[in-house]
Amino acid sequence: MRKKDILSNLQAIPSEKGIIFLKKEENFLYVRRTKNIRKSINNFFTSRNQDDVLFQLISQTTDFDWKTETNQLQILATEKKMLKKIEPQFNDKLNFWRNYFYLAIDFYNVPYFSTAEDTQKKKFYVGPFHSNFFIIDVIGCFAELLKAPACEGEDFPCERLKKQQCLGYCLEETKKIQNLISKYYLHPNWEFLKRKRQDQGNLLRDLQFTQAELLKKEINLIDSYYKHLQFLLSIKHIKWEDNIAGVHYRIEDGILAKAGDFEFPVIIPEYRENEILAVNKEHLDEMLWCYEFLCQHATEKLDKQKQKSIEELIKLGYLES
């Protein structure tokens, strides 16, 4: 479809999974898999992103095209094959993963929680996440719900402690903050969220609607964080292969390694001890794509791998047995 006709014909574009193609006449500029073709194409017109590369891509695009597909692994395989064969010029330039962030945890020193662009310092890393604002909000939610630290710098005691908004972990033995991190930050604490949902219900019964709505938002944010933790615990070392519709697929370490006759290189770094809950930025979106597929087709395998990761955290002293 010509670019000039997109917005007036948006409802004609399917809202299904597939691949979108941005082209300059017959030349491919950008190829990308998506869970919702219509939404992704619309985002190119409504995005407030000021990225110069994105602006150049939209300016040069004359046509949008797409291909629908129900098999998620086949969508990923098609994308990977096209990127290797065609090498669209904007796929390498427009790498959104460069803007992803990690949650950096320090078990001993203030600030205990911060955002980081990489995993090079001597901290424990979780992520990456698509937004540093999400991480900041998660830190703030735990601070609100648990009076946990949300230190803005290395100076302490800070204003939050003076206002009794924090329990003063900076003035206590480091074991106290380590226990907090172990209990709430390194694995999904669903019992904690269950109690908070009960608190929300009590607020609603007491007609405290504003407080209930605020607590609901905090619960949803922590729930999203815990689901991402569950993904990180499950995906890094997963091994899976099977036939789907007569095509043999293989996933290694969370990356699609084979689809039919096509073999895709899987180059995964040797993760350090402080990266048990971290993956490379450039692998995140593909791993999430494969994880969503495996959640529907190999839940038992994911559960086993998650348990192995938890056992490793226990062995290394990050979690209590």
pLDDT above 70: residue 48: no
Q: Tell me if the bond preceding 188 is cis, omega within 30° of 0.
A: no
Structure confidence at residue 28 as a pLDDT band (50, 70, 90): very high
Q: Which residues contact 199 (CB under 8 A, 6 or more apart)?
A: 215
Q: Locate 271 and state its tokens.
A: 């993760």
pLDDT at 162: 83
pLDDT above 90: residue 157: no
Q: Locate 86 and state its tokens.
A: 């065609």
pLDDT above 70: residue 67: yes
Instruction: Give the mean pLDDT of 203-230.
Output: 97
pLDDT at 4: 84
Instruction: Give the mean pLDDT of 170-177.
Output: 92
Structure confidence at residue 50 as a pLDDT band (50, 70, 90): low
More confident residue, 132 or 236: 132
pLDDT above 80: residue 191: yes
Instruction: Give the mean pLDDT of 83-91.
Output: 91
Asked if residue 310 lies in contact with residue 239, where contact means CB atoms within 8 angstroms, the answer is: no
Structure confidence at residue 92 as a pLDDT band (50, 70, 90): confident
Mean pLDDT of the chain: 93
Picking from 306, 205, 187, the residue whose alpha carbon sits closest to that of residue 254 is: 306
pLDDT at 49: 61
pLDDT above 80: residue 321: no
Structure confidence at residue 163 as a pLDDT band (50, 70, 90): confident
Instruction: Give the mean pLDDT of 116-130.
Output: 96
Instruction: Give the mean pLDDT of 18-42.
Output: 93
Distance CA 129, CA 118 (A): 12
pLDDT above 90: residue 185: yes
